Amino acid sequence: MPATPMTTHPADTAVGVIGTGSALPESRVPSEDVARVVGVEHGWIVERIGVLERRFAAKDETGTDLAARASSAALAAAGVGAEEIDVVILATSTPETPIPGVAARLQDAVGARNAAAFDVNAACAGFLVGLELGRSLLASDPRRRYVLVAGSDTYSRYLNPADRRTYPLFGDGAGAVVLGRVPAGQGISGVEIRTDGSMRDYAVGGPRITVTAEEMAAGEHYLTMAGRDIAHLVRTEFPNLVRAAVREHGITVADIDHLVCHQANPRLIRECAEQAGFTSDQVVLTGDRFGNTAAASLPVGLDTAARDGRIRPGDTVLLITFGAGMTWGRALIRWTAA
C-alpha cells in the first residue's frame, strides 16, 4: 500500500475550540421535589446551594447516549464530519461499564470510524484533562486534524436520596467540543492541572469491584462528599488559579470576557468569582438550571454561552474546575468558534 501523505500545517497555528454541543435529559427535577425527598425546606437548597432544578436521565438513557447527542451537535457546529475526527476523548466517572471504555461506544455512536478513542476519569475535572490531552495530540502530530472531547456524567444513579449533602447538588448531562487548528495567538493556552491525592477521600462514590450485597444494602455504593473540606479547597485555590492565569498572560481580571467554572455549587462559584474581582456579567452559570453535571459542566457552560451569542470570536474565556482526587486546574481560551 502507498504511504499516507503527511499533512503539514503552518508553524503559526495553535489549537482551539471550533465547535460546541450539549445534551441534557428531558426530565426536569425542581428543587421543591428534591427538598421533599431529602426532608429539608426548599429555601435551604436555593439559599445554600443555588440550584433551582436539575435534569435526571431516564432509566434507559445512558451517559453515552447523552455524549453522542452533544458530540453530534458539536460536529455540526464545527462543520466537521465524524469520519474526519482523529481522536475521541470522553471524560466521565460514571461509565455504564468499566470495560469497554465508553469512548469506544461514543466513537461508534457518532460514526467516527477513523478515530482512536479512550476515556479520562478525573471526576468533575475530567473535561479539562481531556481538553489538554486533545490539544497536545493535535499540537504534536501534523497528520491529525480534529479531536472530539466530550464530558458526560449521570450522577443521579450514584446519589443517596437521604443525603442532603449530595442529592440536591447533582444533575445529569453531557457537553462536547471539537478541537482544530486556529491562528497563532488564539485557541487554548495556559493550562494548569494539579492533584493532591491526600484529599482522595473528600469525594468517593460508586461500588468497589468487590462490593457485596450487604454493602449495597447499606448504601456504601452511593457518592459521599466532605462538603466543607471541598469548599475550603475551592475557596483557597480559586483565587490562586485566577492570579496565575492573569500573571501568565499579562492581563487583568477585567480583560477576561467570560469565566466558565465547573458548577460544583452555584452559590460558592458566585462567591469565589466576586472575591476574585469578576462581575456577574463575566460569570457563566448553568448550575442553577442543570445542577452539577460533573465532567459535563465546562462544555455545557461553553455551549450554552456560545448558543446564546454570549461568547463571540476574539473573546477571552477562563475555565476553572475542581474534581475528586482532588484535582483542579484552569485554562485560558482565545475564542475562535463562530
For 250-291, how does the pLDDT look when each residue is reduced to its tens digit (9 = 90+)? Answer: 999 999 999 999 998 899 999 999 999 999 999 999 999 999
How far, in Å, CA of 306 to CA of 131, rounded?
17
Q: Please indicate, yes or no, whether residues 160 and 122 belong to a single structural domain of this protein.
A: yes
pLDDT for position 8:
46
- Split at pLDDT 50, 70, 90, the class of 232 is confident
Residue 140 has pLDDT above 70, yes or no: yes
At 102, the amino acid letter reads: V
Which member of 258, 261, 265, 292 is catalytic?
Answer: 292
Mean pLDDT throughout 181-191?
A: 93
Q: Please indicate, yes or no, whether residues 275 and 314 belong to a single structural domain of this protein.
A: yes
Contact 128, 157 (CB under 8 A): no
Residue 2 domain-assigned (yes or no): no
| Residue 6, helix vs strand vs coil | coil
Please indicate whether residue 262 is annotated as part of the active site: yes
- CATH code of the domain covering residue 73: 3.40.47.10
274-280-286 Cα angle (round to 5)? 105
150-58-81 Cα angle (round to 5)? 30
Q: H or E element: which one contains 313? A: none
Range with lowest mean pLDDT among 107-121, 195-209, 314-328 = 195-209
- Split at pLDDT 50, 70, 90, the class of 217 is low
Residue 3 domain-assigned (yes or no): no
pLDDT in tens, 149-162: 999 999 999 888 98
Q: Please indicate, yes or no, whether residues 152 and 213 belong to a single structural domain of this protein.
A: no
Boundary (domain end) residue, out of 142, 157, 184: 184
Residue 6 domain-assigned (yes or no): no
pLDDT for position 7:
47
Residue 5 domain-assigned (yes or no): no
pLDDT for position 150:
98
Q: Which residue has the higher pLDDT, 214 or 123?
A: 123
Q: H or E element: which one contains 111? A: none
327-334 and 187-195 as β-strands: parallel, antiparallel, unpaired? antiparallel
Q: Which residue has the higher pLDDT, 25 or 223?
A: 25
Domain extent, residue 144, equals 13-184
pLDDT in tens, 309-322: 999 999 999 999 99
Peptide bond into 6 cis (omega under 30): no
- Number of structural domains found in the chain: 2
Q: Please indicate, yes or no, whether residues 218 and 326 belong to a single structural domain of this protein.
A: yes
Contact 171, 23 (CB under 8 A): no
Which member of 121, 124, 265, 272 is catalytic?
Answer: 124
pLDDT for position 304:
97
263: buried, middle or exposed (CB in 10 Å: 19+, 13-18, 0-12)?
Answer: buried
pLDDT in tens, 58-114: 999 999 999 999 999 999 999 999 999 999 999 999 998 888 999 999 999 999 999
DSSP-derived secondary structure letter, 291: -
pLDDT for position 3:
38
Residue 11 has pLDDT above 60, yes or no: no
pLDDT in tens, 32-48: 999 999 889 888 898 88
pLDDT more than 90, % of the chain: 71
How far, in Å, CA of 11 to CA of 3, rounded?
24
Residue 213 domain-assigned (yes or no): yes
Residues in the chain: 338
How far, in Å, CA of 161 to CA of 153, rounded?
18
Boundary (domain end) residue, out of 184, 210, 229: 184
Range with lowest mean pLDDT among 135-144, 195-204, 236-245 = 195-204
Interacting residues of 128 by C-beta distance below 8 A, sequence separation 6+: 122, 191, 193, 298, 319, 321, 329, 330, 331
Residue 2 has pLDDT above 50, yes or no: no
pLDDT for position 278:
97
Q: Where are the alpha helices (DSSP H) in the chain?
A: 31-38, 42-48, 63-78, 102-110, 126-140, 213-217, 227-249, 266-275, 287-290, 297-307
pLDDT for position 195:
87
Which member of 121, 258, 262, 265 is catalytic?
Answer: 262
**Distances from the Cα of 23 to the Cαs of 55, 73, 137, in angstroms?**
10, 9, 26
Residue 26 domain-assigned (yes or no): yes
